[in-house]
Structure 1
Amino acid sequence: MPLFCGTSLARRIESAEAHLILAATEAARRRGAKGLAIPVAGGFACFAESASPMNKVVGLGFDGVPDGAAWDEMERAMFACGVAVQVELSNLADPDVAALLADRGYRLVGFENVLGHGLRLNAEPAAPHGIEVRATNDIDAWVDVVVEGFAHPDSADSANEGVPSHEEFPRDVIDRAERDFEQAGAIAYVAMCDGVIAGGGSVRLTDGIAQLTGAATAPAFRRRGVQTALLAARLWKAAQAGCDIAVVATAPGSTSQKNVQNNGFQLLYTRAVMVKAPPPALPREHKRPPPKREP
């Protein structure tokens, strides 16, 4: 059935996203990273560590316009961490928030699409022949295959007409971020082909929403239905748990968006990505040497 996304559903999804990033940031802090999280106007400004995908402001626009003084304080804290302030703002959020950001010098750098799939419990889906999908406690093996898949983008992406991403993440940062998401409640799944781990994905269940928190296939096992099998298994798990909707965020026009739409997902709304860079560092004042005394 067609899905309609108004402000009520968008509020639910953005709240779930904000609490996912918050929980992952707290997981980063527990393992020794900085793990800074600042509540702001119903959302959170988060910083996990340098170059982390958790370094952003999420959940804005559904609980009033941010207070100017509180926003100043948040900016100073994020700038002190050495990062720009990146805001992901739904197009269903209060328009006054976007106006505030524009007035404060934030620059639009990109978009991401949020897609949804209505859920109801049917028979357990059958995986393609030769593929077995199961939840796993072997987090090291799961992280290895996901990071390997992300490190080697599908060659089909080069022929795709999608919009290039405005950001990239180092391999070691992705490794730690995936572990942080698992500690934040994401359930890890692996797909097995001929006894070998061929792909991995995860899903976090919260407030009736199934958040698909990333999936990837090892290069040697692509074009065999691994992603479809991982997706079907996670959707079935979510329906079993009583979730009414599954959501995923993708780059606009990307292969990932095409794949999930081919599996029943529909575009719900778009997030604008707005960024403000730290101010330039002030040069240090050099003390003049004392004047020489006349003999």
Structure 2
Amino acid sequence: MIGDRIPLFCDTALAERIERAEAQLIARGSEAARRRDPDGFVLPIAGGVASFAEENSPFNKVAGLGFGGVPTTAELDEIERAFGARGAAVQVELAHLVDPEIGELLSQRGYRLASFENVLGLSLQSGREPSAGPGIEIRLSGDDEFQAWLDVVVDGFAHPDAQGLPSHEDFPREIIGNAVRDLTTAAGVRRYIALRAGEAAGGASIRMADGIAQLTGAATAPAHRRRGVQTALLSARLADASAAGCDVAVVTTQPASKSQQNAQRQGFDLLYTRAILIKQP
């Protein structure tokens, strides 16, 4: 127990719920992307999905793998052929709570460890109220200001805090915009904007499904950092998730990053780690 709070414990059942929500998110975003690139695909595999949306997309990955058993050789062959035909590497995000046989199998097939990411969670109770510091306003962001929202988010991502392990991924601005639009229209992602002194200071998003509130990204413009913008964006999203009946909020961060530190300060607990395994075409 930490103070009067019991840390959230993650068993395999909770991890499966979270990974299933992640796989659904990726699948729906990828399916929406087919409006631009009909050459994309979404294939089921061992409880997860293999997805290719378009070149350089953050949806090009295998997500949620392993909570439906160990993938067969035939399934992996099919997926590797599908990615290879598009000149893309296969990236697998593998939770450490799945059967270790999967990691051994992928290593034997030539997958190499590229990075890690942490999944943190917070148990939600009803009645949460949003809070924001002086001069900060948080509200839902509509389509009429999508470009302003995107500008501040991309600007924030382009200037990450130099703490923790760096991300192995870097996406073009146009692709980020495509992905966010796809998630908003096809996966029910809500966008929030933070205003400070009348300026767009930060942006964030959330998806709520099956009781899981996925915090799908947040960024603060460099000129507005260390002013409570991130905390206010988080507070607003958690209050909305609580009101919608979600029982768990989750966020993915780079290990030892400022984002992880901020999340843990807000009561999030480290639930599990995903290994990022990549096989070149």
Task: Give the TM-score band, short-chain normalised.
Answer: over 0.9
Whether the 8 Å CA contact 1:28–1:34 is kept in 2: the answer is: no
Larger Rg: 1
**Paired residue for 2:225?**
222
Query: Alpha carbon RMSD of aligned pairs, Å?
Result: 1.3
Matched, 1:118 2:127: no
Whether the 8 Å CA contact 1:204–1:211 is kept in 2: the answer is: yes
**Paired residue for 1:263?**
266
The 3-state SS of whatever aligns with 1:249 is strand
**Paired residue for 1:285?**
none
**Paired residue for 1:147?**
154
Following TM superposition, by how much is the alpha carbon of 1:55 offset from its aligned partner in structure 2, in angstroms?
0.7
TM, length-normalised to structure 1: 0.89
Partner of residue 168 from structure 2, selected from 166, 169, 179: 166
Matched, 1:8 2:10: no
| TM-superposition CA deviations, 1:247-272 (whole Å, max 9, x none) | 01111111111111111111000001
The one-letter amino acid paired with 1:142 is: W
1:87-126 residue pairs with structure 2 within 5 A? Answer: 87-126=92-131
* Segments ≥4 residues shifted beyond 6 Å: none
Whether the 8 Å CA contact 2:203–2:218 is kept in 1: the answer is: yes
Give ranges in structure 2 of 5+ residues lacking alignment.
1-5
Partner of residue 276 from structure 1, selected from 263, 276, 279: 279
TM, length-normalised to structure 2: 0.93
The 3-state SS of whatever aligns with 2:34 is helix
Fraction of identical pairs, as percent:
61
Following TM superposition, by how much is the alpha carbon of 1:33 offset from its aligned partner in structure 2, in angstroms?
5.8
**Paired residue for 2:43?**
38
Whether the 8 Å CA contact 2:128–2:243 is kept in 1: the answer is: no
Following TM superposition, by how much is the alpha carbon of 1:78 offset from its aligned partner in structure 2, in angstroms?
0.7
Give ranges in structure 1 of 5+ residues lacking alignment.
279-295
Whether the 8 Å CA contact 2:58–2:179 is kept in 1: the answer is: yes
Partner of residue 232 from structure 1, selected from 235, 252, 263: 235
Q: Distance in 2 between the 1:134 and 1:262 partners?
A: 23
Q: Distance in 1 between the 2:267 and 2:16 partners?
A: 22
Matched, 1:179 2:184: no
Q: Distance in 1 between the 2:80 and 2:119 partners?
A: 26
- Which deviates the most, 51-60 or 8-17? 51-60
**Paired residue for 1:290?**
none
Q: Distance in 2 between the 1:170 and 1:142 partners?
A: 16
Q: How many residues align?
A: 273
Q: Distance in 2 between the 1:109 and 1:233 partners?
A: 34
